[in-house]
C-alpha cells in the first residue's frame, strides 16, 4: 500500500486501505501495538532515532505504528500532507493553539462554537495574553472588521454546533490570508466523508474523532490535519506535553474510518426525513437543518459538502419547559450530549454542552432555552418519529 498513489484513489478506498503497514507476520487487519516503548538495535540507532535523524519508533507518547496508521489514513481522507492524533477533540484544539500562538496574539473566532471550545478560549488562553474576538460565522464583513495587526488565527466550526449552520470557508479563508492569519476549521459535524475544508482554502482542520470517526461512542480521540509545515509544530508540542492518542483508541478509530462513508450516508438519510417531519409539527417553532431546501444556506452547503450530516436542531414552542418535557419523555433516544453515534442522542444545549456560557453568549449564538439537538442515529426512522411523538 505504501507504493500506491493515494491521490488516485477514491475516498471510500482510502478509508479502508490508507496507512496500512503490515508487520513481518502479514496480518490482514491493522495491528494494535500496545507498548509504551520500542527497543533499538544499538546506542547509535537510539541516538539517531531520538534526534529525528532517522525514522523509527521510540516511545508511544509521540511515535507508535497504530497511531501513525490512523494519522496517515485521516490525512489521506482530508487531502492533507499530514495529521497528528490527540487524546480528544479538545486536546487537538489545545495543541493547535499552544503550537501556533504566543502571548500577545489574537484570534478571530465564530461566535457559534462548541461550548468547551469557547470556554477554553475565554478562560484559559486569555490567561496567557491571547485575545479572542467573536464574530458571526455568516457575516464576512465582521471577520474583516475584527482583524488586528496581531491576529494570527481564524477559528471556524462549520456546520456549527448546535445550530448546524454553514459558513463560507473560501470567503473566510480569503480574509484570513489577506491578513497573514491561518484559518482552522473544526470539521467534526461533517467528517472527511462529507467535507474537506482544505479544498476551500482552510489551512488546518481539527477533529473530535470521538464523534463520527469512531461512530459508536466507544473511545475518545482527536486530530489536527494540514500541511507538513503547519503540523510539525503541533507534533513537537505533543511530543513534549503528551496529550496524545493511545494505541488502543487509534485502533478503534481506524476501524471506525473503514465504515465512515457508509454510516454518514445513512445518518444523512435519516436526518433529512426527521427534519422534514419536524418541520410540519405544530409544536415546533423552527427547524435547523441545511438539508431542508428552504434553509438559507442550503446551496452553500451543497457546494461545500457532499451531504448535510446527521445533526438536527429545533426550537420548541414553550421554551425550556417544553424542551425538558420532550427529552424526559423519549424512551428510545439516549439522553446524552455526545453525538455522532449509531444510537440517536438528544440533548438540551443551553443546559449541557453550552451550559457554561453566559446567557449573553448563548443569545448571541442563537441558543435559546427551547432549543433541542438531536444527533440522528441509524435506527429506523419510523421508530425515531414515534419516540419524539411521545413528548410532542
pLDDT tens figures, 330-341: 999 999 989 999
Q: What kind of fold does domain 6-258 have according to CATH?
A: 3.40.640
Model confidence at 25: pLDDT above 80: no
Model confidence at 87: pLDDT above 90: yes
Would you say 120 and 93 are in contact if contact means Cβ atoms under 8 Å apart? yes
Q: Across all residues in the chain, what is the average pLDDT?
A: 94
- Banded model confidence at residue 3, pLDDT cuts 50, 70, 90: low
Model confidence at 102: pLDDT above 60: yes
Summarize the confidence of residues 356-378 as an average pLDDT. 89
Look at the pTM and tell me if it is higher than 0.85. Answer: yes
Model confidence at 174: pLDDT above 90: yes
Model confidence at 5: pLDDT above 80: no
- Banded model confidence at residue 353, pLDDT cuts 50, 70, 90: confident
Would you say 214 and 252 are in contact if contact means Cβ atoms under 8 Å apart? yes
Percent of the chain with pLDDT over 90: 85
Q: Tell me the three state secondary structure of residue 375.
A: strand
- Banded model confidence at residue 290, pLDDT cuts 50, 70, 90: very high
pLDDT for 17 equals 79
CA separation for the pair 193, 392 (Å, rounded): 33
CA end-to-end span of the chain, whole Å? 52
- Banded model confidence at residue 1, pLDDT cuts 50, 70, 90: very low
Summarize the confidence of residues 380-390 as an average pLDDT. 96
Domain 261-389 belongs to what architecture?
Answer: Alpha-Beta Complex (3.90)
Model confidence at 257: pLDDT above 70: yes
Model confidence at 19: pLDDT above 90: no
Model confidence at 92: pLDDT above 70: yes
Q: Outline where DSSP puts E strands in the chain.
A: 82-86, 106-110, 131-135, 151-157, 182-186, 204-208, 222-226, 284-288, 311-316, 334-335, 345-347, 371-375
> Over the stretch 201-221, which tens digit does the pLDDT of each residue have?
999 999 999 999 999 999 999
Summarize the confidence of residues 18-37 as an average pLDDT. 84
Backbone angles phi, psi at 205, to 5 degrees: -120, 135
User: Domain segments of the chain: what residues?
Assistant: 6-258, 261-389
Would you say 348 and 372 are in contact if contact means Cβ atoms under 8 Å apart? yes
Amino acid at each position: 500500500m505504501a507504493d500506491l498513489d493515494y491521490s488516485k484513489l477514491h475516498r471510500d478506498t482510502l478509508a479502508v486501505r490508507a496507512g496500512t503497514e503490515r508487520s513481518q507476520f502479514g496480518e490482514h487487519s491493522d495491528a494494535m501495538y500496545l507498548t509504551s516503548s520500542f527497543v533499538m538495535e544499538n546506542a547509535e540507532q537510539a541516538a539517531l532515532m531520538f534526534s529525528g535523524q532517522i525514522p523509527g519508533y521510540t516511545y508511544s507518547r509521540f511515535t507508535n505504528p497504530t497511531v501513525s496508521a490512523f494519522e496517515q489514513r485521516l490525512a489521506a481522507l482530508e487531502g492533507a500532507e499530514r495529521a497528528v492524533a490527540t487524546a480528544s477533540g479538545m486536546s487537538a484544539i489545545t495543541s493547535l493553539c499552544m503550537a501556533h500562538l504566543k502571548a500577545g496574539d489574537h484570534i478571530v473566532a465564530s461566535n457559534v462554537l462548541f461550548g468547551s471550545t469557547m470556554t477554553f478560549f475565554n478562560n484559559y488562553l486569555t490567561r496567557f495574553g491571547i485575545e479572542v474576538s467573536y464574530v458571526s460565522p455568516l457575516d464576512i464583513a465582521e471577520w474583516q472588521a475584527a482583524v488586528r495587526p496581531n491576529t494570527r488565527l481564524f477559528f471556524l466550526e462549520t456546520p456549527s454546533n448546535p445550530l448546524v449552520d454553514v459558513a463560507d470557508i473560501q470567503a473566510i479563508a480569503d480574509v484570513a490570508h489577506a491578513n497573514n492569519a491561518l484559518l482552522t476549521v473544526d470539521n467534526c459535524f461533517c467528517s472527511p466523508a462529507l467535507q474537506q475544508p482544505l479544498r476551500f482554502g482552510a489551512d488546518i482542520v481539527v477533529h473530535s474523532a470521538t464523534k463520527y470517526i469512531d461512530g459508536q461512542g466507544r473511545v475518545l480521540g482527536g486530530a489536527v490535519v494540514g500541511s507538513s509545515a503547519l503540523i510539525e509544530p503541533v507534533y513537537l508540542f505533543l511530543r513534549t506535553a503528551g496529550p496524545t492518542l493511545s494505541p488502543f483508541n487509534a485502533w478503534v478509530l481506524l476501524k471506525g474510518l473503514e465504515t465512515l462513508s457508509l454510516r454518514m450516508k445513512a445518518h444523512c438519510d435519516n436526518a433529512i426525513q426527521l427534519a422534514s417531519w419536524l418541520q410540519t409539527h405544530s409544536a415546533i417553532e423552527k427547524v435547523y437543518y441545511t438539508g431542508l431546501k428552504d434553509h438559507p444556506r442550503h446551496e452553500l452547503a451543497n457546494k461545500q459538502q457532499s451531504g448535510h450530516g446527521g445533526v438536527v436542531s429545533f426550537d420548541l414552542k414553550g421554551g425550556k419547559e417544553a424542551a425538558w418535557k420532550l427529552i424526559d419523555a423519549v424512551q428510545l433516544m439516549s439522553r446524552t450530549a455526545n453525538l455522532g453515534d449509531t444510537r440517536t442522542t438528544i440533548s438540551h444545549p443551553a443546559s449541557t454542552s453550552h451550559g457554561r456560557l453566559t446567557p449573553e453568549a448563548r443569545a448571541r449564538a442563537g441558543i435559546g432555552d427551547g432549543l433541542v439537538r438531536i444527533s440522528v442515529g441509524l435506527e429506523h426512522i419510523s421508530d425515531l418519529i414515534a419516540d419524539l411523538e411521545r413528548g410532542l
